[in-house]
Amino acid sequence: MTPIFKRIAALLFVVFTLSISLLNTAYAQNIKNLRSFHNTQKSRVVIDTATKPNYATSLSANKAVFSVRVRDVANAKTAPTQVPLSSKSCITSISKKLDGDDVRYIFGLKDCSNPKAFVLAPSKDSKDYRIVLDFENGYSAFSSNSNSSSNTRTTTTITQTNSSVSSKVSTSSGTIDVNTPLATYERDLWIKYTTVGKGGARSMSPKNAQAYKNELTALRANYQKAKQQVASNKASANKSASKTKVQSTVTHDVEELVSDTSAPPVPVKATPISRPFIICIDPGHGGKDPGAIGRRGVREKNVTLAISKALVNYINSNKQFRGVFTRSSDIFIDLDRRSEIARRKKADLLISIHADSVESGSSTARGASILVLSENRASRENNKNIRNGSSKHLLGVGEVMDQSVGNPYLATALVDMSSTNSRSEGNLLAKEILNSLSRFTHVRKTSPISRSLAVLKAPDIPSLLIETGYLSNRYEEIQLNQPNYQKQIAYRIYLGIKSYYEKYPAQKIKSRQESYARTKNVKGKKSVTVKKGESLSIIARRYGTTVTAIKKLNNLNSTNVHVGQTIYIP
């Protein structure tokens, strides 16, 4: 072999070796984090990896040990080990074992259903891959009272001082051993009549539910009789030495009933049109003002900010809309400034997000509701705006207000027109959102509620306040703190806005240029308020004009009008 060929061969060998090394490196991955989440139904352990993981799982025959092997881990020795566990979890321990560059996480289990494992790809919320491990608690003991809305867990402990007395008694429910907790028998009965669905949750048919209820009632009665029989036998066998101590603890856990909400569609941000419909979202409270605080410590300001952020994401997924905030972080904003911020951002709508609460601490009040500005409060605010000159800053009427100096009647007419139209549009929007929310959650009031609220006082912007639920309600507090529930509420509000926008094109607030043009055109014109049964043609005949002339003066795109709408006559 010539020297030149020897050099080429050596170079090719180096390149081949380097390629193999790089290939191995490319397949290696880092385990970045080990996290856990717990509730009364299940435990979730998440393994964050930098690249798509190569892994395998196994479960022992007795279901006491589960392991997941992550292969080719670059940081195998330093990969995280510790993760917090809840006393409610069916996971009793977690340990890490190394096998070369493979990492094995070994889970000790007690009363777990078969674990589920799957991988989540990176998303906008996380740049990492995630191995998700779900460990569902094996069972829950249910109350036999069909009118009860609470699940119960029952633990019974028996101390028997005379071992010669049998703890087993034959009953119509079969042989009962009183040393076995009642909850164990209830669990077996529950499993007998239920089936496991796709999501891992157990459910039963109506037919099985009735049979289960009957057998559960008989089981509990027979268990009590068995305890009494065993106690009587002990007393007879050794009256002086035998003692039977029965300790029963029943714990009601609301979280057993409040399951995780399914996630709504994921919003995809769209490029807005040149003049989008601007919707200002106002997360209630913030900063030093926490708002209502539930019994579990859930704060209204955090709930409203989470829902508001999800809502703006949905709004921005529609090219016709653009969402803006009064606040997008945990800061305090005075109530009077919120409508000013919306006006400064040229908002077409202002929606304030809140969570309700009952001062008495009652947990029975529940459901969403929507508040709009009362007519009396609107009149007071309008008069105040005219007196102090702040009407000049109102959207759509400010330019004409500059020309109304010395003409208080024109100023009053302009502000009243703007306020009436805004409140009318706010009511229409509220009804659409209530209708949308009612398809997902309980609605406390099916119609908008009139209130005197500072955040709704802007006469030039349709404004409403949405109470998304009650933090004083022990069930809704849990729901309002769930990320998916927050997103579902936001999604339903968005659908209501979208329905309003599509359903009432004649009532949409026009662009600011159109608003200025409209207010200029109506200077000195006679105004009428549309009453029930009236149409543009009826109004035109009454005042000796045409429908076309009325539409042109009022900048109407169609002949549709609604009760309470202000119409100016040519």
pLDDT tier at 106 (50, 70, 90 boundaries)?
very high
Contact 471, 356 (CB under 8 A): yes
pLDDT at 196: 64
Percent pLDDT > 90 in the chain is: 25
> For the segment 244-268, what is each residue's pLDDT rounded down to a tens digit?
444 444 444 565 567 678 889 999 9
Specify whether the CB–CB gap between 203 and 259 falls below 8 A: no
Q: Which residue has the tokens 């007879």?
A: 236
Count of alpha carbons within 13 angstroms of residue 253, beta-carbon side: 16
Considering the domain boundaries, does residue 147 fall inside one? no
Element (H, E) at 58: strand 55-59
Domain holding 116, by residue range, is 28-136
Q: Are residues 115 and 169 in the same domain?
A: no
**379 domain-assigned:** no
Q: Is position 417 within any domain? A: no
Residue 325 in this model has a pLDDT that exceeds 60: yes
Q: What is the largest CA-CA distance in the chain?
A: 111
What's the pLDDT band for 50 if we cut at 50, 70, 90? Answer: confident
Average pLDDT value for residue range 293-310: 93
pLDDT at 402: 39
Q: Output the CA–CA distances (angstroms, integers) from residue 514 to 84, 277, 376, 493, 566, in the order listed.
A: 60, 14, 29, 27, 16
Top-confidence residue, 419 or 116 = 116
pLDDT at residue number 431: 93
Residues 350 and 446 in one domain: yes
Judged against a pLDDT cut of 90, whether residue 311 lies above it is answered with yes
Domain assignment present for 513: no
pLDDT digits (tens, 9 = 90+) for 386-403: 445 444 444 333 333 333
**DSSP three-state, residue 302:** helix
∠ CA(453), CA(459), CA(460), 5° rounding? Answer: 130
- Whether residues 49 and 178 fall in one domain: no
User: Where residue 548 sits, what CATH number does that domain have?
Assistant: 3.10.350.10
Q: What is the pLDDT of residues 493-531, one digit of tens each?
A: 999 999 999 887 644 444 333 444 444 555 567 778 888
| pLDDT, tens only, 416-439 | 444 455 677 888 899 999 999 999
Q: How many residues does the chain have?
A: 570
Indicate the residue among 70, 102, 136 that finishes a domain: 136
The residue assigned the tokens 């769209």 is 270
Task: Select the more confidently predicted residue: 130 or 360.
Answer: 130
Residues 98 and 185 in one domain: no
Q: Are residues 344 and 368 in the same domain?
A: yes
| 75 and 130 housed in the same domain | yes
Residue 238, pLDDT above cutoff 80: no
With beta carbons less than 8 A apart as the criterion, state whether 463 and 419 touch. no
Question: Is pLDDT of 404 > 50?
Answer: no
- Any domain includes 146: no
Task: Give the pLDDT confidence score for residue 378 in this predicted structure.
Answer: 43
Higher pLDDT, 537 or 191: 537
Beta strands 129-136 and 102-109 are unpaired
- Count the alpha carbons within 13 Å of 444 in the hemisphere toward its beta carbon: 20
More confident residue, 416 or 316: 316
| pLDDT (0 to 100) of residue 163 | 46
Q: Is the pLDDT of residue 123 over 80?
A: no
Residue 17 located in a structural domain? no
> What percentage of the chain exceeds 70 in pLDDT?
71
Distance separating alpha carbons of residues 172 and 170, to the nearest angstrom: 7
Of the candidates 111, 115, 76, 79, the residue with the CA atom closest to the CA atom of residue 92:
111
Between residues 279 and 402, the one the model is more confident about: 279
Both 176 and 251 in a single domain?
Answer: yes
pLDDT of residue 274: 86
Q: Cα(211)–Cα(215) distance, rounded to whole angstroms?
A: 6
Q: Which comes out higher in pLDDT, residue 77 or 154?
A: 77
The total number of structural domains that make up the chain: 4
Q: Are residues 161 and 230 in the same domain?
A: yes
Alpha helices in 205-299 (DSSP H): 206-237
Q: Which of 284, 279, 261, 450 is nearest to 369 (CA)?
A: 450
> How far, in Å, are 37, 272, 287 from residue 290 at the CA level?
25, 34, 7
**Residue 471: pLDDT band with limits 50, 70, 90:** very high
Do 121 and 190 fall within a single domain? no
At 364, the pLDDT band (50, 70, 90 cuts) reads confident
**Greater confidence, 444 or 389?**
444
Chain mean pLDDT for the chain: 76
Judge whether residue 271 has pLDDT over 90: yes
- Pair 482, 365 in one domain: yes
Whether 143 is covered by a domain: the verdict is no
CATH of the domain at 69: 2.60.40.3500
pLDDT at 363: 74
Q: Are residues 131 and 156 in the same domain?
A: no
Distance CA 494, CA 315 (A): 6
Q: Are 370 and 433 in contact (CB under 8 A)?
A: yes
Q: How far apart are CA 252 and CA 243, in angstroms?
A: 29
Residue 156 CA to residue 70 CA, distance in Å, equals 42
* More reliable by pLDDT, 152 or 324: 324
pTM (2 d.p.): 0.47
Identify whether residues 369 and 484 lie together within a single domain. yes
Structure confidence at residue 16 (pLDDT): 52
What CATH number has the domain bearing residue 298?
3.40.630.40
Rg, Å, the chain Cα set: 34
In a domain, 117, yes or no: yes
Phi-psi region of 296 (alpha: psi -120 to 50; beta: other; left: phi over 0): alpha
Rounded mean pLDDT of 479-493? 94
